[in-house]
Amino acid sequence: MTLPALTQNEQNAVDIERAFIGCCLLSSSAYAAAATAVSADQFIERWNATIWQAMGELAAAGSPSNNVTLIGLLGNPEVGPDLNLSRYLASLITDQWCPPGYVLDFARQIREAWAKRCVAGLCDALKIDAQQPGSIPKAIIGDAMQALNDTLARMDPRRSGFKTMDQISTRVIDKMARA
């Protein structure tokens, strides 16, 4: 089975994930800073998500994340043609090195790439829903707004709390009345 080729944006996202994980494997302080900044489901590459999840499990158990502990937890399966997990982990550290100070910026880029994939998937689903006989536009729009708000909240929890146009216009009118 041949997988579809990655777009340039998807390949860039995978490269950022690789550098991010490599940085966290090299520096426990980088991992500590980034541990809650990204969740495994925000990675585009399946093995990167699996490794990130395993790193979290090891940290929760009080164990460090390195080639030995990750192989102990995950085994040493094939992760690609002629590439096992042990060699993949080594490549994360050697091929994609980044300074620990970049880890939070890489985490932001991973979240942003994930959000773009969510929005694109939502648009595809909206098109299908809107073309269904008997579909209700208000319901479709409401579901879309909730999905976008949920995505925004996961990108940056400080910015959650989507407002409807009615809520925004009411606030503007109230401010104008007080002025």
Average pLDDT by stretches of 10, the chain with 179 residues: 65 91 90 90 94 96 94 94 93 79 90 92 91 91 89 71 52 61
Give the integer Cα–Cα distance in Å for 47 and 144: 30
Torsion of CA 62, 68, 71, 77, to 10 degrees: 160
How far apart (Å, rounded) are the C-alpha atoms in residues 157 and 150?
10
Of the three residues 60, 85, 113, the one that is the final residue of a domain is 113
- Give the pLDDT of residue 179: 61
Range of the domain at 45: 8-113
Domain shared by 18 and 93, yes or no: yes
Domain for residue 46, yes or no? Answer: yes
pLDDT at site 7 = 84
Same domain membership, residue 131 and residue 81:
no
What is the total count of domains within the chain? 2
At 150 the pLDDT is 87
For the full predicted model, state whether its pTM sits above 0.85. no
Please write down the HEC assignment for all residues of 56-120.
HHHHHCCCCCCHHHHHHHHCCCEEECCEEHHHHHHHHHHHCCCCHHHHHHHHHHHHHHHHHHHHH
